């Protein structure tokens, strides 16, 4: 899918639906926050949330004293929703409206977090573009935390097809620069009570 089409899709989602009217809504982003802490993040760590949208992970990071937080999303409306929710605390966050397959990182991060963005990249060229930016955007010794639908998860989300993964297939996709250090399954409950199986895998960026 072209960047313009992706951006139009997500702008429409976030301008027509409330924060808790989308299937991926979480009141508490506990799985992501726990993995960020287990990856050794400190208050000074540079953390980027790819496809963060209106997620509440940024709230938790700010509330726990993290000082270098970036949220990237295709949808300006999604980021604006998060900024409004944070009120004056939003000034502590770097906000980037961009496509993760086209954006150029200006620095290397200690933690790259992605819950449910990568799995929308069903085109091989889009995946390669994302992974190239992942390699440039994570410092040697840093960590990438990537959550996707599991192999028994949904085949579509928000009307779009997704690619489903387990830790082995995701490791193969990312390539030899990233070493798998942890993986776990997570059952996500949507706001309307259905269940979706995710997998979260943590990778260390090799030198």
User: Is 22 inside any structural domain?
Assistant: no
Please report the pLDDT score of residue 105 as a whole number.
Answer: 97
Q: What is the arithmetic mean of pLDDT over 99-125?
A: 97
Number of structural domains in the chain: 1
* Paired strand residues for 197: 187
Residue 3 in this model has a pLDDT that exceeds 80: no
Please report the pLDDT score of residue 24 as a whole number.
Answer: 87
Q: pLDDT of 152-178, one tens digit each?
A: 999 999 999 999 999 999 999 999 999
User: Is 126 inside any structural domain?
Assistant: yes
Q: What is the arithmetic mean of pLDDT over 93-111?
A: 97
> 8-37 b/e with 16+ CB inside 10 Å = b?
ebbbebbeeeebeebebbbeebebbbebbe
Domain with residue 69: its CATH number is 3.40.50.150
Confidence of residue 4 (pLDDT cuts 50, 70, 90): confident
Provide the 8-state DSSP code for 150: -
User: Is 181 inside any structural domain?
Assistant: yes
Q: pLDDT of 43-66, one tens digit each?
A: 999 999 999 999 999 999 999 999
Confidence of residue 14 (pLDDT cuts 50, 70, 90): confident
Q: pLDDT of 175-201, one tens digit each?
A: 999 999 999 999 999 999 899 999 999
Mean pLDDT of the chain: 95
Long-range contacts of 93-96 (CB under 8 A, 24+ apart): 93/58, 93/62, 93/69, 94/69, 94/70, 95/70, 95/71, 96/70, 96/71, 96/72
Please report the pLDDT score of residue 1 as a whole number.
Answer: 62
> What does pTM read for this prediction?
0.95
Confidence of residue 2 (pLDDT cuts 50, 70, 90): low
Full residue range of the structural domain in which residue 197 is found: 3-17+27-205
User: Is 155 inside any structural domain?
Assistant: yes
User: Is 185 inside any structural domain?
Assistant: yes
Please report the pLDDT score of residue 136 as a whole number.
Answer: 97
User: Is 110 inside any structural domain?
Assistant: yes
Residues 6+ apart with CB under 8 A from 93: 58, 62, 69, 70, 71, 83, 86
């Amino acid at each position: 899918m072209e960047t313009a089409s992706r951006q139009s899709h997500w702008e429409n989602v976030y301008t027509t639906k409330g924060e808790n009217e989308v299937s991926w809504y979480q009141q508490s982003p506990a799985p992501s926050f726990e993995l960020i802490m287990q990856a050794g993040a400190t208050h000074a760590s540079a953390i980027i949330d790819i496809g963060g949208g209106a997620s509440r992970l940024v709230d938790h990071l700010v509330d726990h004293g993290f000082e270098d937080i970036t949220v990237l999303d295709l949808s300006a409306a999604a980021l604006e929703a998060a900024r409004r929710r944070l009120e004056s605390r939003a000034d502590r966050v770097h906000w980037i409206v961009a496509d993760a397959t086209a954006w150029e990182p200006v620095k290397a991060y200690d933690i790259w977090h992605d819950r449910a963005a990568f799995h929308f990249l069903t085109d091989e060229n889009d995946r390669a573009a994302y992974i190239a930016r992942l390699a440039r955007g994570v410092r040697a010794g840093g960590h990438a935390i990537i959550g996707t639908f599991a192999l028994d998860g949904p085949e579509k989300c928000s009307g779009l097809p997704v690619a489903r993964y387990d830790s082995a297939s995701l490791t193969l996709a990312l390539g030899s620069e990233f070493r798998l250090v942890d993986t776990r399954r997570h059952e996500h409950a949507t706001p309307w009570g259905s269940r979706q199986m995710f997998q979260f895998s943590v990778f260390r960026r090799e030198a």
